[in-house]
Chains A and B, each alone.
Chain A
Amino acid sequence: MNILKFFTAGSVDDGKSTLIGRLLYDTDSILADQLEALQSSNRKNDDGTIDLAILTDGLRAEREQGITIDVAYKYFQTDKRKFIIADTPGHIQYTRNMVTGASTANLAIILIDARNGVVEQTIRHSYLVSLLGIKHIVVCINKMDMVDYSEAVYQSIIDKYKVLAQQLKLKDVNYIPVSALKGDNIVQNSDRMEWYDGESLLHFLEKVDTDNLDKSQLARMPVQWVIRPQTDELHDYRGYAGRVLSGTFNLNDKVTILPSGASSTIERIEFFDQAPDAAHAGQSVTIHLKDDVDISRGDTIVNATALPQESKLIEADLCWMDGRALDTSIMYLIQHNSKVTKCKISEILHKVDINTLEKHAADEFKLNDIGRVIVKTADALAFDLYDDNRANGSAILIDSRTNLTVGALMFRAAVE
């Protein structure tokens, strides 16, 4: 059994929280006392049934206003797979929260209200999915019960969406007609839409290839911590502890340590009481090298035959996440895996109107703005392009005045 992380894009009006509530409810993932709390709550649907949306609205302000403000994580499992849902808000003022929820997901569910079809926010959500490089997309045409389960309505919406998908170069896009409120095609296939011969949403989620395991040859491990017991019997023990970001390290592999450029060979791989022959993407291990090289936190061990790029000038997409606008005259900190260095945003190349996808020149970057910039770093970063290797192609910006995380960066090119 493995894990599928997905996020849902849509607003409360599209029935997003109801959809998640429905998945939890129909997979028996709501426990008796939670259900009891739900039933005693005074929020009900018009027909008196339980409002499933309450299940995902965690904070007091959210319950009062009936909206989702922050990312909520929900968990359920079937006998096939464990699921982690990032329930993200859909309104434009919460774009940063959606980016946050999407950053760890390998699948996105985009909700479209069957009555309204492809609207501005569908474009916005789909753009964010393409920006963050989400591998799989399920477009759920929701509220089919409100359009008499009409195949013609469904077909005209997906025809329109396909044009958008092509424009955004989205790859694996799938379509399912559903009613989250009535439960059609969520867990069970609905007999009210016999014209639809595809799978229910849950069956699709159970089967989709998760890509949890990165199969690329780009073996990368940022060093988080050096284990040095310094006891009499382990006097010379020096283990480099980290999580393999991507690729595979095997015993005797030639490796390069960046930024120093030093070379060595993998002598031993440890995982607690085991000494495996290889360390794969996703695993947290300890690596020993044959040579005595100077390595500390912030350095990266990489495969010597597939080196990352190294640069102090990087072209990147930036999503601005702070109430205080970007200031191109000051220094920020950039955190790329375990490495932190100073940086400046030296140039704004363009900003994207995420409702229309138009690019335009800009000299300011405010909360929820997204666009292309050039980052100038104090120390060179050893990175891959985001589309090649998400884990080594992303970074955050920190404002050292407030210590807040103010930006998300996706690396697109090294600037020569």
Chain B
Amino acid sequence: MSTYNFDYLDELEAEAIHILREVAGQFEKPALLFSGGKDSITLVRLAEKAFRPGKFPFPLVHIDTGHNFQETIDYRDKMIERIGERLIVGSVQESIDQGKVVEQTGKNASRNALQTVTLLDTIAKYQFDACIGGARRDEEKARAKERIFSVRDEFGQWDPKRQRPELWNIYNGKIHKGENVRVFPISNWTELDVWNYIRRENIELPSIYFAHEREVITRNGQLMAASPFLNMDDEDIVFRKQVRFRTVGDMSCTAAVESEAVLIDDIISEISSSKISERGARMDDKVSEAAMEDRKKGGYF
């Protein structure tokens, strides 16, 4: 019998491909939620490995807060062009214009929470029965308990107390009409695993992940990119700084970190020695100890 190399990245990759193919096999109308961030970019590569030379059995869906980093949108459009798959955009601005959600006010206003409504509307409009997302269990302690196939009721709610047992590598995707399943193929990956995989696969990323100089302000002890989407006043002093972003969320709630990391190797060594976790740069999680649990119960990604 031949020997073979099967290291931890191979194993994580094989598991994720298996999960993606289960989605293809079990659901009528799945979708892949694409944010333009490194995790969903990784999902796209995994989907290529799962389904090529065939087409993806699902479209990509971007929930657009309207407060994006331009670099992310440019990246998205280029990538769609390259892979030749269908993109559906759900617009938070449209939800605001239709009066379905109300823009937050005040200094810490963000569209992050509003995304949930647009997401649920988009799911309802296209009747998606499964939405693939790039969430990982190492990100946050409520996520650490979430299943790989995570059932949401018709109001998009996650009920942590009624999760289905998930045994071996068998995924139960049976649902009633109106319900849908959020599927997380890279649940078992850590932030470092994702970066190591991106390096190994030589995957291109939006430029904001790498150190660059930009105008920032300090808000609640964190560096925020100065932008028209941030409610700024005279107290906010704009200055230039060499920074990078560890996630690419809504500009109004995604903090930058000071960084010299211009190459992927620099980023990996920076994360290996880092003392702040990735979601620590997300102000939306800091609201309370149960912030993520509450948002997930409400239908968030």
Contacts and interface: CB of A to CB of B under 8 A. Distances in A.
Interface in B153-198: 160-161, 163-170, 172, 174-176, 187-188, 190, 192-193
Contacts of B12: 3
A32 B276 contact: yes
Interface in B108-147: 137-138, 141-142, 144-145
A31 B138 CA distance: 11
A224 B26 CA distance: 9
Nearest to B273: A28
Given A37-B289, A84-B188, A103-B167, A70 B21 contact: no
A52 to B, nearest CB: 13
A404 B50 CA distance: 27
A342 interface: no
Interface stretch (B52-60, B62-70, B207-215): B52-60
B54 A58 contact: no
Given A33-B276, A70-B163, A335 B187 contact: no
A73 B167 CA distance: 14
Interface of B: 1-2, 4, 6-8, 10-15, 17-18, 21-22, 24-25, 48-55, 57, 137-138, 141-142, 144-145, 160-161, 163-170, 172, 174-176, 187-188, 190, 192-193, 274-277, 280, 289-290, 293
Contacts, number: 179
A82 B13 CA distance: 14
B198 to A, nearest CB: 16
Interface string A231-249: 0001001010111000010
B14 A335 contact: no
Nearest to B1: A248
> Closest 10 A-B residue pairs measured CB to CB?
A33-B280, A32-B275, A284-B17, A58-B141, A31-B277, A403-B174, A224-B21, A243-B18, A103-B167, A227-B54
A174 B4 CA distance: 29
A225 B21 contact: yes
Given A297-B25, A396-B168, 18 more contacts: A2-B7, A32-B277, A55-B141, A56-B141, A73-B144, A75-B138, A215-B1, A224-B21, A225-B21, A227-B54, A241-B50, A248-B1, A283-B14, A400-B174, A403-B172, A405-B164, A405-B167, A408-B165
A396 B167 contact: yes
B262 to A, nearest CB: 23
Chain A: interface residue count, which band? 35 or more
28 contacts: A3-B12, A58-B141, A59-B145, A60-B290, A73-B144, A75-B137, A75-B188, A82-B193, A84-B188, A104-B168, A224-B18, A227-B51, A227-B54, A228-B54, A229-B54, A241-B21, A272-B49, A278-B2, A282-B10, A282-B14, A283-B14, A284-B13, A321-B165, A396-B165, A398-B172, A400-B174, A403-B174, A408-B165
Interface stretch (A93-101, A149-157, A310-318): A93-101
A2 B25 CA distance: 29
A63 B176 CA distance: 32
Nearest to B53: A229
A357 to B, nearest CB: 23
Interface on chain B toward A: helix, strand, loop, or mixed SS?
loop
Contacts of B48: 272
Contacts of B163: 70
Contacts of A283: 6, 10, 14
A277 B12 CA distance: 21
A301 interface: no
Nearest to A73: B137
A96 to B, nearest CB: 6
Nearest to A216: B1
Given A272-B49, A284-B14, A338-B25, A70 B160 contact: yes
A205 interface: no
B263 to A, nearest CB: 22
Most buried by A among B17, B175, B193: B17
B5 to A, nearest CB: 10
Contacts of A280: 4, 6
Contacts of A2: 6-8, 11
A75 B167 contact: no
A33 B255 CA distance: 14
Interface in A1-57: 1-3, 31-34, 37, 41, 55-57
Nearest to A2: B8
